[in-house]
Amino acid sequence: MSSTSAQQILKMNSSSCVAATLSPCERQELALQVLTKTEPVTNLAKEHQVSRKFLYQQSNKANDALEEAFSPSTNNDDEVLFHLPVTKAWLFQLILSLVLICHSSFRGVVELLRDLFDFPTCVGTIHNRLTVASQSAIKVNQSQDLSAIEVGLLDEIFHGSKPVLVGIDAASTYCYLLEAADHRDADTWGYHLLNAAEQGLDPTHTIADAGSGLRAGQKEAFGDKPCHGDVFHIQHQCQTLANSLNRKAMGAQSRRQELEAKMAEAKQQGQWHPLCVRLGKARTQEKQSVQLAKDIKTLIEWLNHDVLQLAGPCHSERLELYDFIVAELQQREHLGGKQIRVLRKALKNQRDDLLAFAKVFDDKLAEIAQQFETPLFLVRQMVRFFRKQATSEAYWRSWGDLHQMLNWKFFQLHGAIQNAMKQTPRASSLVENLNSRLRSYFTLRKHLGTPYLGLLQFFLNHRQFMSSGCEERKRKSPREVMTGEKHPHWLELLGFKLFKRA
């Protein structure tokens, strides 16, 4: 073999060794340089100690990738994406998912299986499959430890004339009570709350509306454990009254305008109209109605934004403001009739329950002041800071003043107060939200039995939140939020094996 041939072989071997050590990013860069023709291929090969053949191979790969990326897409709807092993077990999962996730009726499931899967079935089969699944679901519900629940929210929802008793955890929205009953008296509530207590339910307090049976039942089950008032219902009642009085004021204004138009027409014709007396009464009535609507609206705004607002004054000041509002309503009862009297009595009877949250919040603020060795008045001043709009000048002025006074403690106090506010619920609005979700399930059934409600309770507690305004709940189920521990998918908890694409 000649020396020239030997040198060429050694050169080729060395270039192949260098090419093998190049990373994907380096190969990509070389391919781009070949495609853009910034340098001759021969120069690139010498510079990087690789062969020209290797460079052309990399440029061809890059060119193929570009052509594939920019080639017109072919939407072939008949292309097989993946194969699905349809077994009876998988069909039973589909039936459960259609009923629970898609809110489908039994007959809707029958139609879907018939049209899309060519699988004949009947309503009775679907009912039986749900009954079997509900037995496993109820066992999971009854085995759950409820000792982690600190604040319970209680309410009632009706299916026709039958009450359904509902209880959830304020922090995690875990539903620990979902029972259909014939009555909603103290004995019924007490019985079901005692059953929950056997699973470890022992909240520091609960929040509920003014239902007498509910409150009496809790007293039978938990003794003197506090049951705070729900501000949601009383605020709704206040808003209903304000809207009603506003409509009456607008009606009085319309009647006065109508009479004035008739009087003006009569004067143009030079005639005296017998509606002069009625017009005077209409003007007086309008004035009273408008003034009453304004007064009631102002009182209700004080109640909502100063008394019942979490970021508000201390408990003793709230009591004084509350009593003042009730007294002002009583003075106007003779003008507004029954509606004002009903609201005033409700406010008077529920005062201590509605303002119980203020005591809890005051205690938390006192603990924060002691923890950070900060005067309580500064902590309360920061609480008022949360009442301002973040876009207002007053907000940032307060921000600067407080930051200057508190220095490095400012952000720590800010976070501690924010957490205290999150952990001090005032209303059972979360259980109202659950009731609205339950309503879509209830409308599909003529009768609600324990198995069906047990399955619903299990599903709502073990499905993950798709999205949430609370970061700690995103992509977690209520049970995971409550216990802090992960659990298998709800279908796996019922004994099924989830399908996974290859």
Average pLDDT, 10 consecutive residues per value, the chain (502 residues):
46 59 83 82 83 86 80 70 86 92 91 92 91 92 93 87 89 91 90 93 90 90 89 89 92 87 75 71 89 93 90 90 94 86 92 91 91 87 80 80 82 87 81 81 75 91 82 85 92 90 78
Predicted confidence at residue 109, as pLDDT, reads 93
Predicted confidence at residue 91, as pLDDT, reads 92
Predicted confidence at residue 290, as pLDDT, reads 92
Residue 164's DSSP bridge partners are 157, 180
Q: Are 231 and 432 in contact (CB under 8 A)?
A: no
Q: Are 429 and 232 in contact (CB under 8 A)?
A: yes
The neighbour count for residue 501, using CB atoms within 10 Å, is: 7
For 164, the 3-state DSSP assignment is strand
* Nearest alpha carbon to residue 321 among 303, 333, 305, 309: 303
pTM for this model (two decimals): 0.74
For 408, the 3-state DSSP assignment is coil
What DSSP string describes 82-108? ------HHHHHHHHHHHHHTS---HHH
DSSP 8-class letter at 392:
S
For 260, the 3-state DSSP assignment is helix
Q: Are 421 and 362 in contact (CB under 8 A)?
A: no
Q: Are 193 and 164 in contact (CB under 8 A)?
A: no
The whole-angstrom separation of Cα 388 and Cα 396 is 9
Predicted confidence at residue 6, as pLDDT, reads 43
* Nearest alpha carbon to residue 53 among 37, 30, 74: 30
Residue 167's DSSP bridge partners are 154, 177
The whole-angstrom separation of Cα 344 and Cα 322 is 11
